[in-house]
Amino acid sequence: MRKILTILLILISVSSFSQKKEIVELQDLLRSYKSEKEHYGVKNKKAYRLLSISKYDDVAIFYLLNSYQWAKQNDSIASFFNYLIKNNRNETEPYLIREQYNRYEKLDYSSRIKNLKEALKVDSNDTRVNYGIGKLYYDLFIREYSKINSKANMDNYSSCSKYYFTATYKKNSSYFMILRFPLLQLSNYTKDFAEKEHCEKYTIKNTFFPVSAFLKLPKNWETNYSINVIDFVSGPDAKFRGTESAVFHINWYSSHLQAMDEPVLSDSLPTNIYRFTYLRSFDNPIVIRLENYNDSVIIYWKRTNGAGGYEPGKIIENNSKVLSIEDWKKVEVKIDSINFWSLQTLEVDLLGNDGSQWILEGKKLGRYHVVDRWCGSEIVPICKFLIGLTDLKIEKLY
């Protein structure tokens, strides 16, 4: 019996490996081409083969939609989404994919909302669906205000948006990081002061960074209903950042801090701390934390085997050493020299693709601040000084 089980496990393992290999090969085939003519249309069967073993494969879906669009086969695009829904009747994913790629069907808001409400019939507790519907109604509210059209429409859209947003965060409280700000805006419009007070007082515990620090909106955003605070990024220099972008960055940075088993820097704790998180696109993530508790100074440093722009990986270096109070004072002098506590958290127009994020946090009793800079900018001197206090050997500093 044990021998038979062993053989079965080996066969399953071989089959799984073979399937993964085929997925990678098919994905590579669908991604590579020299011209659209020799690419789109001729590999449709390969794309459907890929979907048969990886039913929501992004590469296959992207290929097929572009193939049908290139051939001007709009009916085939609708048929493809209907095919996904029909073959996965008990799942919301096909409806969410249809919404994600709605531009291929050129769907209006009414059709998009109808699509997601069909998904609610499958699973009314899916927070992604509730959020998606709330966001569509919110978009309509903003558009209606910008056009100065019907107040009745604005009242309807704001009411529906609030309903679905509230349902979303009640089912999954983590969504409140994104939704607190549009709900404040909507509550001002509807004069729902109880909801406004709730949003103002609601705090999310155990998050590494406050959303408000990574959010950059115009001063009048709470009562300017032409501003979409979820998606808002303004102008060629991207001076403003909405909640989805803020939460994306927070989740990115937090995933690395969690992987390195770092604490949340609560401003209620008596220890004074400076922490430098160094995320290089293709190199190992590094964190350095300097702590001062009653003039007892310790510096900690960690490195993982991941990459700053990708997966965090696992800890491969974890060390610390005791420093003198003089070392702490030198750090404080450098902190003061760049006016750290007064620096803006963001310089949104200074972001790039391949490079590094330098995130410097400071925590004192009753006070917390974070500065995020692409390739370091003005926080480079203090961060380099912190590196120098460790025994880290960094080959590429950029």
Q: What domains lie within the chain, and their CATH numbers?
A: 260-389 (3.30.1560)
CA distances in angstroms from 227 to 333, 381, 394, listed in the order given: 41, 37, 43
Q: How confident is the model at residue 206, as a pLDDT? A: 65
Task: Average the pLDDT over 195-199 and give the result.
Answer: 87
pLDDT digits (tens, 9 = 90+) for 340-355: 999 999 885 545 566 8
Structure tokens at 391: 């025994």
Question: Cα–Cα distance between 124 and 140 in angstroms, integer?
Answer: 22
pLDDT in tens, 166-196: 999 999 988 998 999 999 999 999 999 888 8
* Residues 57, 59, 62, 65, CA torsion sign: negative
Phi, psi (deg, nearest 5) at residue 63: -65, -50
Q: pTM of the predicted model, to two decimals? A: 0.84
Residue 324 burial class via C-beta count within 10 angstroms: exposed 0-12, middle 13-18, buried 19 and up: exposed
More confident of the two residues 276 and 269:
276
- As beta bridge partners, residue 292 has 272, 297
**Helices (DSSP H) in 32-108: which residue ranges?**
44-53, 58-70, 74-87, 93-100
Q: Is residue 281 a contact partner of residue 308, using CB atoms and an 8 Å limit?
A: yes
Q: Which two tokens stand for residue 291?
A: 């702590």
pLDDT tens per residue across span 12-23: 555 567 888 999
As given in the structure block, the two tokens for residue 268 are: 């209620």
Q: Which of 94-98, 179-183, 237-241, 324-328 has the lowest average pLDDT?
A: 237-241
Cβ atoms of 247 and 286 closer than 8 Å: no
Closest CA to 124 of 133, 135, 137, 111: 133
Query: What are all long-range contacts of 85-93, with beta carbons under 8 Å and residues at least 24 apart?
Result: 87/55, 88/55, 89/122, 90/122, 91/122, 92/119, 92/122, 92/123, 92/126, 92/128, 92/129, 93/56
> Whole-angstrom Cα distance, residue 56 to residue 93?
8
The model's pLDDT over 53-76, given as tens digits with 9 standing for 90+, comes to 999 999 999 999 999 999 999 999
The residue with tokens 């404080």 is 332
**Alpha-carbon torsion 340, 345, 348, 351, what sign?**
positive
What percent of the chain has a predicted confidence (pLDDT) above 70? 91
| Interval 349-379: pLDDT, tens | 545 566 899 999 999 988 999 999 998 899 9
Are the C-beta atoms of 301 and 390 separated by less than 8 Å? Answer: yes
Q: Which carries the bigger pLDDT value, residue 146 or residue 74? A: 74
Residues in Cβ contact with 344 at an 8 Å cutoff, skipping those fewer than 6 apart: 371
